[in-house]
Amino acid sequence: MQVTWLGYGATTGLPQIDYRLTDARIDPPGTADAWWTEALYRLPGGSMCYAPPADCPLPDAAEPGPATFGSFNNLSKINPAVVALWARVLNAVEGARLLLKARQLADPATGERLRRQFESHGVAAARIEFAARTESYHDHMACYGRVDVALDSFPYNGATTTCEALWMGTPVVSLAGGRSVARYGLSLLHAANCAEWAAHGPDEFVAIATGLAGSRPARAALRARIAKSTLTDARAVAAGLEDAYDAMWRSWSGRAKL
């Protein structure tokens, strides 16, 4: 019996792979199953778990002044529709800035191309700031202290970046879509007890992001909230996995049906 899980957001297409571990928010029952050659096993509480690094810096207090939105997602996820929606958010908050961090931004031409895209939507180039690779993971995590609200990419959501931002006390706004990779944010935010930051349409995305820019939840309180959530409860996730293996084995060997 073979099972696929993390690291690849599509079906393997292989009859040799029997199951895929997922959850009901990433792959809603009745609508998602037809897109997979694997049988879907939905873990309770969410199909991903985050183990915060031991040497992670403490969240900083929010800085006064105009809000800074940010995204540390891979630039391959930043498409024209993402730029257009993020520009709506920036244009709705007076003086707001956007910090983008990705290794591709070490190339000046890549940054200029992005700035031009935002300018086409009325966002001045001076409001966009770039950061490339940092010297250490500790420094990378500390960069979240400069971001008041993180904006998730779509239709391919972030995963690690969403967990990192939440752990550093930075709220994340995610737009849920119709395919599995467009619903990672929805799943993670539910597991983190932050479901109210998952949007189901562009207008709602703008409303949530601008609302958070005004309220700026306390960073330390958000980390405490995440620490008590299913997202970081490795023991509970492991127990769910053990139950899943047992159920899949019984079904696969013909003793029961899922």
Residues 166 and 248 reside in one and the same domain:
no
pLDDT band at 255 (very low <50, low <70, confident <90, very high): low
Give me the helix-helix angle, 80-92 and 108-119, nearest 10°. 60
**Arithmetic mean of pLDDT, 51-55:** 88
Are 226 and 167 spatial neighbours (Cβ–Cβ below 8 Å)? yes
The Cα–Cα gap between 140 and 167 comes to 13
For the stretch 95-148, pLDDT in tens is 999 999 999 999 999 999 999 999 999 999 999 999 988 889 999 999 999 999
Is it the case that residue 199 has pLDDT exceeding 70? yes
CA distances from 248 to 19, 69, 81, 228, 257 (A): 8, 43, 39, 29, 8
The Cα–Cα gap between 232 and 159 comes to 13
The Cα–Cα gap between 222 and 144 comes to 13
* Residue ranges in the chain assigned as alpha helix (H): 80-92, 108-119, 137-142, 160-167, 184-191, 202-215, 219-227, 234-252
| Half-sphere CA count of 42, side-chain side, radius 13 A | 14
In CATH, what number is assigned to the domain containing residue 200? 3.40.50.2000
Residues 80 and 168 reside in one and the same domain:
yes
- pTM here? 0.93
Looking at residue 58, what is its pLDDT?
A: 84
pLDDT band at 171 (very low <50, low <70, confident <90, very high): very high
Q: What is the mean pLDDT of the chain?
A: 94
**How many domains are there within the chain?**
2
Residue 19 β-bridge partners? 3, 39
Residues 120 and 75 reside in one and the same domain:
yes
State which residues form the domain around 45.
3-49+233-252
* 180 falls within a domain: yes
Residues 226 and 243 reside in one and the same domain:
no
**Arithmetic mean of pLDDT, 19-38:** 94
Smallest Cα–Cα separation from 73: which of 187, 161, 191?
Answer: 161
* Residue ranges in 128-183 assigned as alpha helix (H): 137-142, 160-167
Looking at residue 45, what is its pLDDT?
A: 87
Strands in 3-4's sheet, in edge-to-edge order, are 3-4, 19-22, 39-42
* 58 falls within a domain: no
Residues 200 and 245 reside in one and the same domain:
no
Tallying the residues shown for the chain, one arrives at: 258
* 59 falls within a domain: no
Residues 226 and 237 reside in one and the same domain:
no
* 127 falls within a domain: yes
With tokens 């879907």, the residue in question is 40
